[in-house]
Amino acid sequence: MTEIAHVALGSNLGERESHVAAALVALTRHAGVSNLLVSSLWETAPVGGPPDQGPYLNAAARFETPLCPRALLDLLLEIERCEGRERGEPDAPRTLDLDLLFYGAQVIREEGLTVPHPRLHERAFVLAPLREIAAAWIHPELDASVEALAERLEAGPGWAGAGVTRCEPPGARR
């Protein structure tokens, strides 16, 4: 049995595009991932953390997996580690950040694992790429589509202040 998972990808240290690309390659090579669909790359301003950090490159991916949520999270953390991710202060610059956004329609609250991601609806850097590949996906707790969540955020100051810019044409990575 497989489930559809959605993951946010981001990098603002080193060769940002290479880190995101390496993560996608690692996902496609894993036996537990199939039918990978990837958004365009988006450049966004950092949220929180040290004031001198550079902009992020962000993307979103959707895929099928037989992995349970915890095993998928472990895979994402291992991919981050392989790309040089060091965990320090919250919102610090990073070579790679992989966040599990959705795991099917499941709501999961466990130590170290919260799905849907608790702040995805507040983050333009997540919603902009995610809407490219999953606009109709329904957030199981908010009962709203990704498109509706993005439209709500666009209508407020959160989107304009995020410096969200598409870096490549839609579908360039599919």
Per-domain residue ranges of the chain: 3-166
Cis preceding linkage at 116, omega within 30: yes
pLDDT band per the 50, 70, 90 thresholds, residue 161: low
Pick the CATH number of 3-166 from 3.40.50.720, 3.30.70.20, 3.30.70.560, 3.40.50.2300: 3.30.70.560
What is d(CA 49, CA 51) in angstroms, rounded to the nearest whole number?
6
- Interatomic CA distance for residues 4 and 140, integer angstroms: 13
pLDDT score of 173 more than 70: no
**What does pTM read for this prediction?**
0.91
Q: What is the pLDDT of residue 168?
A: 67
For 106, 143, 165, the CA distances from 58, given in Å and listed in that order, are 24, 25, 10
Are 87 and 131 in contact, with CB atoms under 8 Å apart? Answer: no
- pLDDT, tens only, 50-77: 888 899 999 999 999 999 999 999 999 9
Residue 160 clears pLDDT 80, i.e. is over it: no
What tens digit of pLDDT does each residue of 118-135 get?
Answer: 999 999 999 999 999 999
Question: Which of 80-84, 100-104, 131-135, 163-167 is predicted least confidently?
Answer: 163-167
How far is residue 71's CA from residue 17's CA, in Å, rounded to a whole number? 26
| Sequence letter at residue 83 | E
* pLDDT at 16 > cutoff 60: yes
φ, ψ (nearest 5 deg) of residue 48:
75, -170
Catalytic annotation, residues? 85, 94, 97, 99
Instruction: State CA 91 to chain mean position distance.
Output: 15
